Structures are given as C-alpha cells and as structure tokens.
A and B are shown apart, each in its own frame.
Chain A
Amino acid sequence: MNLQQLFFVPSKFLQNEKWMNVRVGDIIKLENNHFVAADILLLSSSEPYGLCYIETAELDGETNLKVRQALTVTSDLGADVAKLADFNGEVICEPPNNKLDKFTGTLYWRDNKYPLDNEKMLLRGCVLRNTDWCFGMVIFAGLQTKLMQNCGRTKFKRTSIDKLMNTLVLWIFGFLVCMGVILAIGNTIWEQKVGRTFSVYLLWDEPIRNNNVVFSGFLTFWSYIIILNTMVPISLYVSVEVIRLGHSYFINWDRKMYYIQKDTPAEARTTTLNEELGQVEFIFSDKTGTLTQNIMVFNKCSINGKSYGDVYDEFGHKVEITERTDCVDFSFNPLSDRKFKFHDSSLVEAIKMEEPSVQEFFRLLSLCHTVMPEEKNEGDLVYQAQSPDEGALVTAARNFGFVFRSRTPETVTLYEMGIAVNYQLLAILDFNNVRKRMSVIVRNPAGHIKLYCKGADTIIFDRLDPSNQVLMNTTSEHLYEFAGEGLRTLALAYKDLDENVLEEWMKRLLNASTVIENREEGLADLYEEIETGLMLLGATAVEDKLQEGVPETIACLTLANIKIWVLTGDKLETAMNIGYSCNMLRDDMNEVFIISGHSVSEVQQQLRLVSSTVDVEKTDEFSEDSVFEETIIAEYALIINGHSLAHALEPELEQVLLETACLCKTVICCRVTPMQKAQVVELVKTNKMAVTLAIGDGANDVSMIKTAHIGVGISGQEGMQAVLASDYSFAQFRYLQRLLLVHGRWSYFRMCNFLFYFFYKNFAFTLVHFWFGFFCGFSAQTVYDQWFITLFNIVYTSLPVLAMGLFDQDVNEANSHRYPSLYRPGQLNLLFNKRQFFLCTLQGMGTSFLLFFIPYGAFCLVVRDDGSHISDQQAFAVIISTSLVIVVSVQIGLDTYYWTAVNHVFVWGSLAVYFAILFAMHSDGLFSILPSHFPFIGTARNCLTQKSVWLVIMLTTVACVMPGLACRLCRSRPRSRTSDSCGGPGAVHADTVARCTMFSSDTLVRLASGLSGHCVKKQCGLVGLCFGGLPMRQDCNYQLGRKKGG
C-alpha cells in the first residue's frame, strides 16, 4: 500500500509519488476508485460545488456513498495545478484522535478564516467513488490518521486453559521440588542411619565417604528431579497442540458451516483457541453484514389505504412467500432491474391502470432521495445510494415504471412509463436525525410545484392535513402490521405548493442559508414551516434482510446463557429495528432504556436511573431469593449511542455502565467507532473475567475482533480485513451457533477430559518412584525398566488419549443444539479447573499408591509355581508397569464416551504394542546383541506366565479403577435421571449434563414448589432439559411465532 502510486503536486506540475513519501501538508490528487491513504482535506473535485463521493465501508461498515464537499474558496481552484501549487493556506486543527465522525479545524488563507469540519475531510480507509478526480491536502498521515488511531494492537491470544495449564505446570514443578526435597532429606537420614552400617556390603561413593551424607542428599535431590520429571508433562503441550489442530480441521471440514452460495467453508484461522469456544459468555456482534445481509429489499407498501405485497391464494388466504412463489413480471419495463423481486401482481396491475395515487407514490419515490445514478451502458443503471433503504426504494420505483435516470443539481430526469419527464429541482430539504424526514420541492413540466416528503411515520402523521384522518388510520394499521414483521417503514406524503408562497419561502431560505450563526436552527424552522398540511400517499416497508436463521441463533445462544451485545456504527433507529427483528428487543420487555446523554453527568444520571429501576424490580420480585440474584428475571434492554458511550467509557463511569449493561438482557450500542467497540469488549473482558467473542465482517470490526478473546469474521461482502484479523471465519452468522454449541463445547469437553486424564496418567506413572524411594534407601532407584520410562508417554499411552481428545462426544450434535444449557459448564469452567486438577492428581496419587503397595505386599512372599522366587526387581518392574498400562487403559476406556474404530484400534493397539515391546525387549536375541542394554532378559516370560502375577495385576487393576468408578456413579446419580427424562438413556448422557442439572436442581426445586410463571418462562430452557418438557426448538419457534403474530 505504501508503494501505491499517486499524483502529487510539489511544484507547478503533477508528479507521481509513492504513498510512503507523502508528508503532512502535501497536496495530492486522487482519482476515481482510489483508496485514500491519509486523512486529507478536500480542496477541489471534478464534481460541481466541490462535491466528492466516498465509500466508508472500511471505517464504519456502511457501504453507501457519502458526500464530502470542499470549501467554496478552495473548490474554485479546480484542477489548476499551478494555483494548487501556490495554495498556501494554513490549517490549525485538533490533535490526532480516533473519532471518525468529528473533525474541527480552521483554515487560514488569504487573511480569511474558514471553519473546517468532518464534511471536508477524506479519511484514510475511504475509497473515492463517482468522482473523476479530486485534490486534497494531507492533514494527518501514517499512524496519526484516524483509521490507524482506531486500530487495536494485535495481542497474542491464549486460552484460559492455556494459562491454567501453565500455572499447573508450575505447581507441578513446585510439587516436584518438594518431593525431591523430601526424598533428599530421607536420603540424608537414611545414609546416616542405615547406609553407614550397610557399607559392609555397599561402600559409599568417593564424595560421601568423608561422612558427608548431606552431599549425598544433595545428589539424591537432583537424581529424583530427573526421575520424577515425567510428572511435568512435556508431551502435554505437544498433544494439546495436536488436539487443537485436529479440532480446527474438524471446523474446516464441517459441511454444516459451509455456505454454498459463496462457496465458503468455515475456517479456523488459529488453532489455539478452540476450547475457549466452549466457554464464551459474551458475544459482541456487529450488525451490518453480520446479523443482516446488508441488502435492503422493497417488500411491501400501502398506497392510498390499500396494502400491497402479500400474496393470497384463490380462497383469500395469505400465502407464505418462499423462494418458489411466482414473481411479478416486469418485462413491460425495459429499464427494470432484473434482480428486483415482487410477488404481488396487483400493484403492477394498478400501475398499468394508471391509478393516480399509485403513480404519485412511485413518482415520489423516484424524486425524493439523494441517490446518484450511474449509467455505464444504455439502460444499465446502477444507483449509488447514501443509505441502502433509499436505494431499495428508488429501485422499486424504477421497476414499477418510474425510472430515475439522471440528475443534475437543478433537474431530475425520470422515465415515467417509458416517457422522459424532466423535473426542476427547486429545493432539497435534507434528512437528519432530528427531522427524521426529507423532502424535495420540484416543478413538473406542466409547471405545477409539488413538495414530496418521506419520513418516519410518526413525524409525517403529525404534519398531515386534517382531511387525511381516515386514510391515516388505515395506513397506520398497515404500518403496524409491517413493523410487526420487522420491516423498516417510511410514510410518504406530498403537498401542492403555490408559486407565490414558494417564492417568498425560497427567499427566506436563501437568507437563512447564508447566516453564519444558528444556521441549522434557522433552516430547520423554515423546513418545518413548509412541511405542513401534507397529503398522505402511503407507506413503504423495506426489509433489511436478516441473514438466515439469525433470530433462532440468537434465541438459542441466549438460552445457552450467552449474552449478546450488538455494537454497530448504524443509526439508533436502524439498530433498534434490527434488535426487534432479531428478537433481541421485544414488545413484552419490561422496558427499553435509551442512553443518549451529551455529557458525563447526563449519561451517569441516565445509567443510574436504569440500574435503580432494574434493581427495584428485582428486589421487589425476588428479595428473599438469593438464587435469582444473578439471573435477570425481568427483561430489560439497554440502548446506548456513541456519544454517550464515549462518556460512559470514562474510568469513573465504566463500572456503572458495565453493571447496568449486565443487568439488561439486551444491549445495543449504536453509532460507535471501531475503537469504542474494542473498548467495550475490553471493558467486559477485564472486569467480568468472562470469555468474550467478537463477530463482525468489516474493517471497522477489526479492533474489536482483535481485542476479544475470540474474534470471528464473517467472510461476507465487506472485504477481507475482518476475516484476516479473525480467529475463525465463516459466511453466515447462524453458523456461530454450531461453532459454539457443537464445536466449542466438544473442544472444551475433550480438552478438559484430555487434561484430566493426562495429569492423572502422569501422576500415576511417576509417583510410584516416590513410594519406592522409601524402600530403596532413597537412592533414586527407578521402579521401571528404563525402556518403559522412555516409551510409556510416547508409545503406550499417548494414542488412546489423543483419540479421546479428538473424537470423543459426550452429547451428539443434535442434542447439543437441542439443549443449549449443556453449554453452561464451559462458561462456569467446571470441567477443568484447579479443583478438578487436584482431583485428578489425587486420583493419580491414589493409583500410584495402590500400584506400588499391592505388589509390595504381595511380593515379600510371591513365588513362582516352580518355587523360584520372583520377588526380584525386574519382575517387580514388569508387574507394576503391566498393571500401570492396564489400569490407565481401563481408565481411558471408562473416560471415553464415544468409541470409534480409531479409539478401539488405539486402545487395544497400545496394549498389544506394550506386550509386544515388552517381550521383544526381554527376548534372548536383543540381549545377545547388547547385553548391557537389555538386562531384563527373560523377565517377562518368567513373570507373565505365572498365575500369581496375574492375580496381583488383577487385584491392582480392580483396586485402582473401582473407587473412581464408584465416585463417578455417585456423582452421576442426577445424570441418569436426566438422561431418562430426556428421551431415554443415550439421548443425553454426560457428566456435563449431570453438572448442569446439579446447579439447576435448586432452581428445579423452586420451580416445583411453585414460583411465578414469569420465572418459569425464563427457566424453561433448563426445565426443558431436566424434565424433557419443553425442548429448545419449540421454545425458539414459540418465540418466533409470537413475533410473526405481531
């Protein structure tokens, strides 16, 4: 990028230069579709009035075109290179910051002051569109640009399990040192008390011979550190990485996360975070392109009291619109957009009948907008719209025969049913957040002057002529219907204007627009004045098409106790609309709070109000009930806009914000900058100690994706930046459910089981040496054959546990989706934590204890059936190692829930390999080649043919396995209950279920004892799990059904 070429005005002529050489103050020329790589003050452009169009998708995720306008004085410079080179204005502006929508500065030029604002800036990350060229002066370059200021720093991401593992390894190391010290002290004492006297048969080594038993102890310490080092699981790290890699491949291979229309499979771009997918508590989602397809579709309309858009069958029943429903044929219109679909043919008939209201309706749509047409070939129209809604409306008008063809600053050319009509554009009354409407005043070829207005229904209805009352009632009924379906609605109205009135008004407008102070207010008042007494035409309903399955996914993830926050750069209204259509906001919510303060104190006040309201409700309902303190019973939603968020994120308020937000079921932040997104994520991440996941598709989501524990990129329309910064990527939001509830849960479950078993195995293996130390004079004699020590972790036991870590499934995928509460143990970190670690070390110690002491007891007396003794060290080693291998194999067998062929091969294969290697190592042949390396010759043969040896092994195995089994059975008592009630054993079965039910069991008791219906509804996910009464799917559908029903 830095080497990209641009044109540069150093002196009197244009010169090619690389971006990397651009300095602040340089004047540069940009051409159409150029990428802006610095923050630039627009000086002049090819378009009239110094206008210039940019696309800011990389900055705020909005794909529509935005207009920037140069100062009049500078736009006069035009393309005159000489004049531009002489341009010696001085800009004084704010220091570099990350606010994308604000810029304040002043241009001093020719003894004049000119105010500069964001409307004159081209920020880095924008792309120049529809503008042949423009000149600009560099204000910020490089790291000072607003885009770079918004970039979060890339951090190395590690999972909590990773961190835990490192801690545990340190602990184990400490434990190892402790044992070394114990044994070293033991050795010192032993050498002093026994070794000294035993020196008749065993002379002391040189260094100890001078009575220096402490030195012997010191040496023993290091010997034991070496012998016991297998307790510190070095192979653990390798195995963990292998398992993660495997899980990543499973994600890549998953056909159910493959999006056929874009040919994009899911991709795990990092292999280190898989198990954290099973622990997510917060999801931060972008809106545009993530929840929505970012495609606006003109869906329905109401014209003159008649609703169009629904399809009815011959009996007058409404027909569900699917992909197969017949589309209206627009072939009568050669300029129609082929991608546009509409299903209700009555509207076309109405237009063909030349119904005046319908014509006027579409005329309005084709006139009242700020869309730019682009006609590359004859009839091949492309609209560049500031907002996708507008584009959708103009496209609709185009298809219904009112084709917006071209515009100049003074005129708009339409093709009305194929006939070119030129309208004179007298005024544009622009849209803003306060007005929530826009109007145009046009003069048609016949000389009539009309004001066309479209805007939010409430605003328009307030300004209607009283004669519209009846029409207004029907229209508002329709609007209510549309809104109930999650459509974005606008009301349309017109007004005939009198020439004289207009003339007078235009004069005042001209005056007002030249006033320097309070210009905005003055204009608004003027607009207000003329936009009265409107005649209602109808209403439009545009569908901001949600991606497939978004509400279901959100509902399901919510049931899995994942909190979803939407962080969007969009307008408040848009965000709320989406909130409603995603089912995150609902009409039956207790309250939807909107925080939109402009100062710290204002925001603080609003936040406190929210939390106090919520608190009061909570204490009212459940003051005596401690269980529900953390759960949110009453449903609240919090919507906060970017300005307030900036204040709320200040250090003194952020805690309040966090607490308040966590009390609410739904949190939506709108108009936020990329940096704020990252800050919100950071806030939750650091204060809630919860695993966060950020999902987004645009460059504006990159910093949030980088900040969150897990970043997910939607490989959608908005380029690749998000995907490149993400850890996982896929094409559709709905795959998130599968990624978390299936892959994440499995990964977490497998990883935890794997770790549990791995630590257990290594402790059981190693601690035998510790016990043996007490019986061999603390001499660091190993129990096992050297070969066995070498091969145990690598060959005998690595593969079965690896197979478990890769393939195990406690609950199949269907049930993972059906019972989202199964996700809960991961969030609570129940499956592997310090407690679990202690349990597994305890189990390992117990096993090693039995492994040593049962043969110990038996071995004083055990003899072969031919009378010869087998109480020698080598036989002891063979018996203990055989017992160990069998015990850990049985244990992995019990730990494996899902025995695939691979598991079978690995488990049985490991045992077979153990015996094969054992006998090979102890064979005559190897001994005859290298006598000193294979001193165990014949031991296996002599031992393992003995019944008494097998009796010892059997006893050891049973004694080691039974306690664990009994414990598990005890713990799983509630589990069998669950599985029975959830459609028989096997349908759901796992410790996880048991654990999940365990902590929900309190709830159950309460429920059983009759709580309010409100909380029953809330807890129905858990209840569904425990009683099998109301499975998840039904619940989702139930809610959806309600939404659809209005």
Chain B
Amino acid sequence: MAPSYNAKEEDGHQPGATGHGGAGTMTNKKPDNTAFKQQRLPAWQPILTAGTVLPAFFVIGLIFIPIGFILIVYGLTLLIDYTGVDMSSPCYNCSQSYSWNNTQSCTCSVHFSLDQPFESNVFMYYGLSNFYQNHRRYVKSRDDSQLNGDKTSLQYHICTLNRCSKECEPYRSSDKPIAPCGAIANSLFNDTLELYYIDPNGSRTAIPLVKKGIAWWTDKHVKFRNPSGNNNLTVVFQGTSKPVNWRKPVFELDPLDSDNNGFINEDFIVWMRTAALPTFRKLYCIIQKKPNNMTPTLPRGEYILEVTYNYPVRSFDGRKRMILSTISWMGGKNPFLGIAYITVGSVCFCLGLVLLSIHYRYGKRNNSAEISS
C-alpha cells in the first residue's frame, strides 16, 4: 500500500504553488495509519466449517453419554410418602385430625424395607410437594437483619416505628415483635422423624440421626446469628413472641445444644433457605456410617419410620415424604440429569452423523457442478 501513497504524494506537487501548500498542510487531516483506525487490527478468524464443527458434535456425544450413565447408575434412593392421604396409610388418622391449633401431637409409624444395604453416610431428607416456598410473597417474608442478630428488630418500640422489616407482614408482630418474623419462619416444618431398624428377631433398634452439619457453613456461621450480648438466649429473646404456628419459642428449638439453638438452629436454617420449586426436599439429618465399616450403615431389612405428625399439608393437597439417599462423587443419584445427558449426547451424535452425510452429499454435487461448468 505504501508505494501507492507515495505516488500520490508526488502528484500533490504538480499543480504548482497550491499543490505545495496542500502538501504542507496535508499532515493535518490525513487519518493516522494505525491498524485500529484502518480496521486492520490483527484478528483471529475462526471459520465454522464442517471440519471443525462435526468433530465437536461427535466428541460431545461421546463424552455426554457415559456421564449420563454414571449419573443414573450411581447412588441409592428410597422415598416414602407418609402424608396419609389413603385410608390405608398409617398416618391417615393424623392427617385427618390435625390442625395448627391442636396441642396434642399425633404419631404414626410407617413400615418399610430396604432391598439393598445403604453404605457409607446416608442422608435423610424430608420432601414437600405443592408447597410454594418460591412464591414471591413467601420468599420476601423474612428479615435478614433480624436473623443476622440485629437486636433492634427484636425490640418492640423500635419495631413499631417501622425500623424492622415490613416484609414480614402479616407475621411481624402480635403484641410483641415476632422472632423470627415472617411467613417462612412461621411455616417451619416441625414433623419429627425417627428411624428404627427391626432386627430379624423382632427387636427395634433406634438409628442415631445426626442433626448437625446439615446446613451450609456460610449460613450457619455468617448469615444466621443469634443476637449477641448474652449467652442466655431466653434473656435475649425476652420481649419477643414466638411465631403464631410455633409450639415453642425460638430459644427452645434445641435447648440442649446452645450451638444449635435460636436462629442458628440448623433445622431452622435449612428451612429458611427457600426452595426454588414447589416440589422440594430438604436435608433432615445424617445417618453416619458405622465406625467399624464392616456392616453397612443401613443394612438390608425392615425399618420403621416414626413420625410425629405436626405439619398439616392436606389443606393445599401437599405431600410429605421421607427420602433416604446415598451420595456419590457427583452428589447424589440424579436420574433426570443422567437421562438428559444421555439424550443430549445422543442427539449431538446423531446430528453429527446427519450433518456428515449432508456434507458428503453436497460436496459430491458441488464437484460435479464445477466439472460441468
């Protein structure tokens, strides 16, 4: 390019005096010869051709299908619905009679058997369905500062002065501010689940359920904090009232363990992390593997699930479930993800094949066209 510009600069001298003047001022307006301004920036120009894209399809297919199989195969899950919708189900009576105002607790026991032994740590979840924890009004009905230990939101006169979150309405205050406030806290899942193993000889052995370590570390240690100042939670929460639906105040959630009481009770924290979808499961407890590794955590056999049936779901056609699951390196059995992987993988592979055949056909035709021309 440079030579042609030089040639033109020479032209500039020819018209005589004016030409010289022009040449003198020429540097003023001549655009800079930079790659950016001349749109000549060095660039990588990837071209999507059959040669580059088709292998990608095949590779994706070949990677995804095995992943899908792994996701399907690994992990064990057992799901027990104990809602008590059917007359035949053991919890039918409890589900029928129960309402929030009832002070009498109702218990029922569900028998089930494990066909396979559950090795390693077993996780017990409770599952709810048709429960709209993701409803906008439900989701916002909490006060994160209160849960983070902000004491002002616990004091009545300040709270009535609108210092504490209005989002909690109508579960904000009764006569005293409610702690914890809001619809989420108010609807805390309060069924108690216990698991017994029935020995072949007929005796019941309670299986130890560990209720700690079920919440996220960040939630337990950062997001949720009891109001500071006093180790005695009873004193701290004086002047607050319990949520309407609760049996006991927040400082009695786990009276035995001060690390798991009040706002940092892990059951409570787990509940407060609202589910994304109306059907969800939440970790209830962990059944830790036996120290001696010889016997499985949950051996094959008969079990009883004892439910203290406190939580009414019949009114909105909800379901309650207990789920036992083991965890693989990928985190739990996930048939949907597995199937999705297999589907996407095979679709990719097939698309690759189809495109390849089209490519070949077109290529052929093109060649012949060129020859005829």
Interface residues of A (CB under 8 A from B): 194, 197-198, 200-203, 205, 223, 249-250, 252-256, 258, 260-265, 323, 338-339, 746, 775-777, 779-781, 807, 809, 813, 854, 856-869, 871-877, 894, 897-903, 924, 927-928, 931-932, 935, 937-938, 941-942, 946-948, 951-952, 955, 958-959, 962, 965-966, 968-970, 972-974, 976-977, 979-981, 985-986, 989, 1004, 1007-1008, 1023, 1027, 1029
Interface contact B336-A900, CB-CB below 8 Å = no
Q: Is B107 an interface residue (CB 8 A)?
A: no
Q: A194-B132, A250-B39 are in contact. Are A969 and B279 (CB under 8 A)?
A: no
Q: Which 3 A-B pairs have the closest CB atoms?
A: A938-B218, A876-B276, A253-B37
Q: Is B9 an interface residue (CB 8 A)?
A: yes
Q: Is B259 an interface residue (CB 8 A)?
A: no
Q: How far apart sit A249 and B277, CA to CA, in the bound complex (Å)?
A: 51
Interface contact B373-A205, CB-CB below 8 Å = no
Q: Is B93 an interface residue (CB 8 A)?
A: no
> Which residues of chain A are within 8 angstroms of B286 by Cβ–Cβ distance?
867
Most buried by A among B42, B47, B57, B67: B47
Chain B residue nearest to A872 in the complex (CB): B273
Interface contact A873-B274, CB-CB below 8 Å = yes
Interface contact A262-B22, CB-CB below 8 Å = yes
Q: List 22 A-B contacts (CB under 8 A).
A: A197-B317, A201-B186, A202-B132, A202-B135, A249-B37, A253-B31, A260-B5, A263-B26, A781-B135, A809-B43, A858-B340, A860-B279, A869-B273, A873-B133, A876-B277, A899-B45, A924-B222, A931-B145, A932-B144, A959-B344, A977-B363, A1004-B369
Q: A902-B41, A985-B47 are in contact. Are A858 and B275 (CB under 8 A)?
A: no
Q: How far apart sit A867 and B42, CA to CA, in the bound complex (Å)?
A: 50
The contact of A860 among B67, B270, B336, B369, by CB within 8 Å, is B336
The contact of A935 among B144, B359, B372, by CB within 8 Å, is B144
Interface contact B330-A1008, CB-CB below 8 Å = no
* A887 shortest CB reach to chain B, Å: 14
Q: How far apart sit A118 and B215, CA to CA, in the bound complex (Å)?
A: 98
Q: A931-B148, A932-B165, A972-B48 are in contact. List 17 more A-B contacts (CB 8 A).
A: A200-B100, A200-B316, A258-B30, A260-B8, A263-B26, A865-B329, A865-B331, A866-B213, A871-B276, A899-B45, A932-B144, A938-B216, A948-B330, A959-B340, A969-B50, A969-B54, A970-B355
> Which residues of chain A are within 8 angstroms of B32 by Cβ–Cβ distance?
253
Interface contact B38-A873, CB-CB below 8 Å = no
Interface contact B331-A864, CB-CB below 8 Å = yes
Q: A339-B16, A779-B137 are in contact. Are A863 and B373 (CB under 8 A)?
A: no
Interface contact B351-A951, CB-CB below 8 Å = no
Interface contact A860-B280, CB-CB below 8 Å = yes
* B64 shortest CB reach to chain A, Å: 7
> Which residues of chain A are within 8 angstroms of B16 by Cβ–Cβ distance?
338-339
Q: Is B183 an interface residue (CB 8 A)?
A: yes
Interface contact A776-B136, CB-CB below 8 Å = yes
Q: Is B73 an interface residue (CB 8 A)?
A: no
> Which residues of chain A are within 8 angstroms of B121 by Cβ–Cβ distance?
867
> Which residues of chain B are within 8 angstroms of A941 by Cβ–Cβ distance?
218
> Which residues of chain A are within 8 angstroms of B139 by Cβ–Cβ distance?
781, 873
Interface of chain B, main secondary structure: mixed
Q: Is B358 an interface residue (CB 8 A)?
A: yes
> Which residues of chain B are within 8 angstroms of A265 by Cβ–Cβ distance?
29-31
The contact of B275 among A200, A205, A873, A986, by CB within 8 Å, is A873
Interface contact A861-B44, CB-CB below 8 Å = no
Q: How far apart sit A490 and B33, CA to CA, in the bound complex (Å)?
A: 47
Q: How far apart sit A260 and B33, CA to CA, in the bound complex (Å)?
A: 14
Q: Is B175 an interface residue (CB 8 A)?
A: no
Interface contact B137-A202, CB-CB below 8 Å = yes
> Which residues of chain B are within 8 angstroms of A200 by Cβ–Cβ distance?
100, 187, 312, 315-316
* B133 shortest CB reach to chain A, Å: 8
* B173 shortest CB reach to chain A, Å: 14
> Which residues of chain A are within 8 angstroms of B299 by Cβ–Cβ distance?
none
Q: Is B348 an interface residue (CB 8 A)?
A: yes
Q: Is B71 an interface residue (CB 8 A)?
A: yes
Q: A863-B325, A973-B358, A1008-B372 are in contact. Are A924 and B218 (CB under 8 A)?
A: yes
Interface contact A931-B144, CB-CB below 8 Å = yes
Interface size class of B (residues with CB under 8 A): 35 or more
Q: A947-B330, A972-B48, A985-B49 are in contact. Are A899 and B29 (CB under 8 A)?
A: no
* A718 shortest CB reach to chain B, Å: 17
Chain A residue nearest to B372 in the complex (CB): A1008
Chain B residue nearest to A856 in the complex (CB): B277
Q: Is B80 an interface residue (CB 8 A)?
A: no
Q: How far apart sit A797 and B137, CA to CA, in the bound complex (Å)?
A: 30
Most buried by B among A927, A948, A970: A948
Most buried by B among A201, A265, A780, A807: A201
> Which residues of chain A are within 8 angstroms of B316 by Cβ–Cβ distance?
194, 197-198, 200-201
The contact of A865 among B136, B279, B327, by CB within 8 Å, is B327
> Which residues of chain B are within 8 angstroms of A972 by Cβ–Cβ distance?
48
> Which residues of chain A are within 8 angstroms of B191 by Cβ–Cβ distance?
none
Interface contact A931-B150, CB-CB below 8 Å = yes
Q: How far apart sit A958 and B123, CA to CA, in the bound complex (Å)?
A: 31
Q: How far apart sit A859 and B281, CA to CA, in the bound complex (Å)?
A: 10
Q: How far apart sit A695 and B16, CA to CA, in the bound complex (Å)?
A: 29
Q: A861-B332, A977-B366, A989-B47 are in contact. Are A955 and B373 (CB under 8 A)?
A: no
Q: How far apart sit A56 and B327, CA to CA, in the bound complex (Å)?
A: 92
* B189 shortest CB reach to chain A, Å: 10
> Which residues of chain B are within 8 angstroms of A201 by Cβ–Cβ distance?
131, 138, 183, 186-187, 316
Q: Is B114 an interface residue (CB 8 A)?
A: no
Binary CB contact string for chain B from 151 to 178 against chain A (1 if under 8 A, 0 otherwise)? 0000000000000010000110000000
> Which residues of chain A are within 8 angstroms of B14 by Cβ–Cβ distance?
323
Q: How far apart sit A43 and B9, CA to CA, in the bound complex (Å)?
A: 50
Q: How far apart sit A1030 and B49, CA to CA, in the bound complex (Å)?
A: 25
Interface contact A861-B333, CB-CB below 8 Å = yes
Q: Is B112 an interface residue (CB 8 A)?
A: no
Interface contact A951-B43, CB-CB below 8 Å = no
> Which residues of chain A are within 8 angstroms of B363 by Cβ–Cβ distance?
977
* A47 shortest CB reach to chain B, Å: 31
Q: How far apart sit A873 and B275, CA to CA, in the bound complex (Å)?
A: 5
Chain B residue nearest to A247 in the complex (CB): B39
Q: How far apart sit A1027 and B150, CA to CA, in the bound complex (Å)?
A: 76
Q: How far apart sit A859 and B12, CA to CA, in the bound complex (Å)?
A: 73
Interface contact B15-A1027, CB-CB below 8 Å = no
> Which residues of chain B are within 8 angstroms of A900 by Cβ–Cβ distance?
41-43
Q: How far apart sit A360 and B1, CA to CA, in the bound complex (Å)?
A: 49
Interface contact A958-B223, CB-CB below 8 Å = no
Q: A779-B137, A924-B218 are in contact. Are A951 and B67 (CB under 8 A)?
A: yes
Most buried by A among B12, B45, B57: B45
* B275 shortest CB reach to chain A, Å: 6
> Which residues of chain B are within 8 angstroms of A937 by Cβ–Cβ distance?
218-219, 222-223
Chain B residue nearest to A223 in the complex (CB): B136
Q: How far apart sit A948 and B347, CA to CA, in the bound complex (Å)?
A: 21
Most buried by B among A263, A894, A903, A974: A263
Q: How far apart sit A227 and B278, CA to CA, in the bound complex (Å)?
A: 21
> Which residues of chain B are within 8 angstroms of A854 by Cβ–Cβ distance?
340
Chain A residue nearest to B143 in the complex (CB): A932
> Which residues of chain B are within 8 angstroms of A935 by Cβ–Cβ distance?
144, 223
* B247 shortest CB reach to chain A, Å: 16
Q: How far apart sit A666 and B219, CA to CA, in the bound complex (Å)?
A: 78
Q: How far apart sit A618 and B348, CA to CA, in the bound complex (Å)?
A: 51
Q: How far apart sit A977 and B362, CA to CA, in the bound complex (Å)?
A: 8
The contact of B45 among A323, A986, A1023, by CB within 8 Å, is A986
> Which residues of chain B are within 8 angstroms of A256 by Cβ–Cβ distance?
38
Interface residues of B in 324-349 (CB under 8 A from A): 325, 327, 329-337, 340-341, 344, 347-348
Q: Is B55 an interface residue (CB 8 A)?
A: no
Most buried by B among A223, A252, A873: A873
Q: Is B11 an interface residue (CB 8 A)?
A: yes
Interface residues of B in 209-235 (CB under 8 A from A): 213-219, 222-223
Binary CB contact string for chain B from 118 to 129 against chain A (1 if under 8 A, 0 otherwise)? 000101010000
